[in-house]
Amino acid sequence: MDDLAFRDLRFHRLGAMRSGTAFSPVSLFANGEAGDAWVADRDWCYTKSGGGVYERVTTSGDIMARWKGMANGINADQDDVAKRPAYMEGSGTAWGQYDGVNDGLSTPNIDFTNTDKISVFTSSTTSVTNDRSLIELGGNYNSKDGLRVSMPSQGINSSASGVTGYKIIVSGGISMNTPYIVASNMTRGSTTPTGRLNRTQAMTVSRDDILSGNYGNLYLSVGSREGTTLFHGGRIYGLVLRGALSNLTEIAATENYLAELSGVTL
């Protein structure tokens, strides 16, 4: 994709930020909700020079040292050059490419201690058959008040102090190297979490225990567990992690946005 074509695509995707006429996930954080939205785009993905200067990616194949949050400016970084994913473009889309070996990014702590509710949205593919961490809040979520989205089962897990509260799992398998949109509302309490894949495919919920209290002040690993294991293999087009439940209108709008990023037809 040449620079002019990609600039036209970028303008269309991020039109809400410039004209106010289209949906942007930034609107999900208008009331100060914790979390952020990350999209693979030349405006939000950065390389890092040998002198330590961050610069926006300019072409497909650039190595990502930083993925900047659109709403709250929460950056997901990788200081180790050998562990950085690649920024890629093709067929009218852009994504972070994770090698399944050691690629991953990590944010500073994100403070979710004032809420027991989180909405999570992802747009991604997988190229590996065994489960890996697409994102994980709190390092190993099994010992923190966090959560994990895994691939390729597209499982969403939430735990507290080693107790698995519930799991949302796709009913049936997914295809390798095929983009999927996941949307889920999760409440740490008696409310049953909900989840869906590409808007229509059901996700089943199993409950082991009822969680209590709020989420933690935790960092987010992107593409791995704690940057040391369960490395994701495949693409990540976009992520949204919001410290609030999203209503049906917000869910549908976010799904549509992520579907456009990844070329999914909903």
- The tens place of each residue's pLDDT in the chain, 266 residues long, gives 555 455 445 544 543 333 345 899 999 999 999 999 999 999 999 999 988 999 999 999 999 999 999 999 999 999 999 999 999 999 999 999 999 999 999 999 999 999 988 999 999 999 988 888 899 888 776 666 778 888 876 566 655 444 555 566 666 667 899 999 999 888 876 556 778 889 987 776 665 555 677 888 999 999 999 999 999 999 999 999 999 999 999 999 999 999 999 999 99
Q: What pLDDT is recorded for position 231? A: 96
User: What does the domain layout of the chain look like in residue ranges?
Assistant: 3-262
Cβ 36 vs Cβ 70: under 8 Å: yes
Burial (CB count within 10 angstroms: exposed 0-12, middle 13-18, buried 19+), residue 142: middle
Buried-state track 173-201, b at ≥16 Cβ within 10 A, e below 16: ebeeeebbbbbbbbbbeeeebebbbbeeb
Q: What pLDDT is recorded for position 80? A: 96
* Per-residue tokens: 38: 């990350």
Distances (CA, A) of 25 to 49, 122, 191, 236, 241: 29, 12, 25, 16, 10
For 3-262, CATH number out of 3.30.460.80, 2.60.40.1120, 2.60.120.200, 2.60.40.1080 equals: 2.60.120.200
The 3-state DSSP class for residue 132 equals: strand
Provide the whole-model pTM.
0.90
Q: Which residues, in sequence order, are CB contacts of 236 under 8 Å at separation 6+? A: 40, 85, 95, 96, 98, 122, 123, 124, 134, 222, 223
Name the residue among 131, 242, 252, 149 with its Cα closest to residue 187.
242
